[in-house]
Amino acid sequence: MVVLSALAGCRSGATSKPEDNAADPPSATAGTCAGVRSPECRSVTLASGRQVRYAILRPTAAGPQTTGAVVADLGGPGISLFGMHWPGDALRQQLPKQLQASPLLLIEEPWVTAAYPPECKAAVSSLFHSVHVLATTGETVSTSCKLYDHDQPWGWTPETFAEAVKVILATEGLRLDGYLGLSFGGRRLTYLRDLAPKWAILVNPAPLDLSAPEYLSGRVSALWRSVESNCPQCPGRQAGTRLIEQASKALSAAQPAVPGRSVPLAGGDVAAATLALSYRDTAVMRAFFTALSTPAKEANRKLVGRLADGVWSRYGTDQISPAVLAYWAEVCPSYPGWSATPPADPLGTFLTEWHGPCTALTPAARQRWTPGLNSKVATCVSMLADDPVVPVQSVRTWRNAGAQVIQPAKGEHSDLAGAQGCADRLKL
């Protein structure tokens, strides 16, 4: 679960060292497996010439071999399959018993092997410095990084994801049987509308068919609920709001230095760190709220900075990994109607400004994301009622699309335990 928590969801939110984020600059061995530690790594070439890394996890137990594969998408956007944490063993341990004999296909996101042009890198760094102090953002990232071009290299498009799955299955002599999606990986099921697996299990999936304002307000509400539940100093929503607002204002005014971190703390770091807590365990959450109460302590400033840097995938001094470009490239087109006007609270302000590149989305780019769930796919969704990451409206959107929904009483966003209930419900 710890490994999956570091990999899944929208952003991880944790780094080992403030200036040494797990998301490093892309490898010079673009598209190949040279230098990749995981022996499971393989590579295929798409029609465009783009090379795609992937892995096939074969069943370990002796028994009949099947050619019916399951695409397993652990979410993101902005995670590296072959990065710091290889998910293979942890994933196998959490699989429903019905899937233990199936080969699993995991695919690396495009940004990991994409070239990172200097003008794009500079635009993303500039955006970080603006949002870091909760300032209004511009649209330079979308143009400098060609974020919504048809052949953008950062995230999947429905066409490129479907092509990658098709080419890999043909290369491996497999057929598509099912789909297992976690967090935003559930949303990518719609990319396979024409390939149509027989069944799909989605765990805490990102919502379908929401407008951008609904999506953002749902995420802000989920964050505030998490604050209310996990802040020892906050007996209710109002107290949690007050603590985060006061810390945000104080750090924006003072901008204290953090040992080992080249960028001082500011108000945007408080909100970014709060977002990172969505993916962390209770102990880290409680330590964070203690840190906000006593920011003068060096260790507390380090914790806030480390959590905030994880959301941005920041490395070096002010360098931002293209992992965040993958996030914008897929999340922005998924929800129409982005607004540049932020709400008054610091969490809403940060989320709006952080999604600033979304406001440049063109109708043509958005059009490629409109196909919904294929009604022929038997789909079950396992959704936590109080997930701090996914808007509560997600349940409604999947039910409206025809999916069966079960709601476990407890769990974590990145916990695949709910998949077993869905496997039983679908009678796999």
Q: Which mean pLDDT values do the consecutive 10-residue runs of the chain (428 residues) have?
A: 36 38 39 79 92 89 78 93 76 87 94 94 92 78 92 94 96 96 95 95 94 92 82 72 84 85 89 84 79 79 90 87 96 90 83 92 86 92 87 92 89 84 95
Which single residue is written with the structure tokens 């098709």?
Answer: 166
Looking at residue 163, its pLDDT comes to: 97
- The pTM assigned to this predicted structure is 0.89
Token representation of residue 125: 């760094």
Helices (H), 138-258: 140-144, 158-172, 184-187, 212-230, 237-254
Identify whether the C-beta of residue 171 lies closer than 8 Å to the C-beta of residue 44: yes
Looking at residue 137, its pLDDT comes to: 66
Which single residue is written with the structure tokens 């396992």?
Answer: 382
Looking at residue 11, its pLDDT comes to: 41
Identify whether the C-beta of residue 251 lies closer than 8 Å to the C-beta of residue 269: yes
Nearest to 229 by CA among 388, 346, 390, 394: 388
d(CA 264, CA 305): 8
Looking at residue 51, its pLDDT comes to: 92
3-state SS assignment for residue 57: strand
Is the bond into 77 cis (omega within 30 degrees of 0)? yes
Ordered DSSP codes for 249-289: HHHHHH---BTTBSS---HHHHHHHHHHGGGS-HHHHHHHH
Identify whether the C-beta of residue 212 lies closer than 8 Å to the C-beta of residue 338: yes
